[in-house]
Structure 1
Amino acid sequence: MKKVTFLILALLGMACQSKTKENNDAMAATNEPIKMDIQDGMEVATFAGGCFWCTEAIFLELDGVKSVVSGYTGGARPNPTYEQVSSGATGHAEATQITFDPKKISFGELLEVFFATHDPTTLNRQGNDIGTQYRSEIFYHSDAQKQTAEDYIKQLTAAKTYPDPIVTKVSPAVTFYAAENYHQNYYNQNKGQSYCHYVITPKVEKVRKHFKDKLKKE
């Protein structure tokens, strides 16, 4: 049993950290900031909660979510690459930018899923993914989003939802840079990959089980 456990942990520990080995051509590309061209009636939410492969896969399940882009935000270096962000030196977080229809799903409902699918009490860490790039942070795009996020964290704290204090930061949205192409829609294209199988699939299954009323229709 110990050998099996060690093998699983080893797979989890190396998979997300080895993204730079996936596609050298993609890594060489210079990432550009996303231009905010939101259609009428749509809104944007930006969340960081560990590896963006996980966050992207989760929110793509939800009805009302038009698109999810994996990328980098919250740092100082312009046009960062994954290799630079993964060093922890740029200050960026791996994040997802979600375009959604508030008539179908609210920002508060997105927050509910966000907090239910990652650990907001571990500072700069999600599981075996460690570093400031894996921090828990909400980047708000309006005063209303800021207030909703702060109120929701207060509610979770008052209800003692978690045994430890919530460390999720609430910060104003800044420039968001799209990640390399091979990171986009990663889970749906690489479900057989070990990290996807052991880490992301359980999160997706949790969403499908506990948020059935919020899922996209087949």
Structure 2
Amino acid sequence: MPVEPGTDVSPNSPSKRLTVLSGPSGVGKSTVVKEIRRRHPEVWLSISVTTRKPRPGETDGVEYYFVSDDEFDRLVAGHELLEWAEFAGNRYGTPRGPVVRRLAAGEPVLLEIELQGARQVRSNMPEAYLVFLAPPSWEELVRRLTGRGTESSDVVQRRLDTARIELAAEKEFDTTLVNTSLRDVCDELLALILAPSV
């Protein structure tokens, strides 16, 4: 796993703005990010580390870096994560080193993370641009979460409870995109990602 201790970006580097995409579980973040990467492969998507077990079809180093609890503890203790959070009983984090290097090289970088992580990025990198992906309605979000069929009712209820908290945090973000149309929301997000940093 290419995780190294973080290095600072030189003030003279041609750094791009770091774009953070967050929003409640089930809002479609992964679908949006997949389409962004399909249309614009030059947008670099950070791969998170997680203590969660791989789901069927997932590959280490593609969807996530799957690590043990002990390894995750080591990364946290070594300040090798830009952010980390616990979600639905598992921990997720963003390796700091690769993000810093890509930004320093002038590449557009996109993070897809949960609310706790977005807050940590805001604290660690105040220049990051935080984008909140909102559902068209609460009813639509409930439909998406309960329609997955991959999790128990207890897990779904926890996700719904968490989603209510996450929706209330929308005002903390720099802008909100409502996920009514995949094409439209991707166009809007791409414009933000590829905008020159200020």
**TM-score in terms of structure 2 length:** 0.32
TM (normalized to structure 1)? 0.30
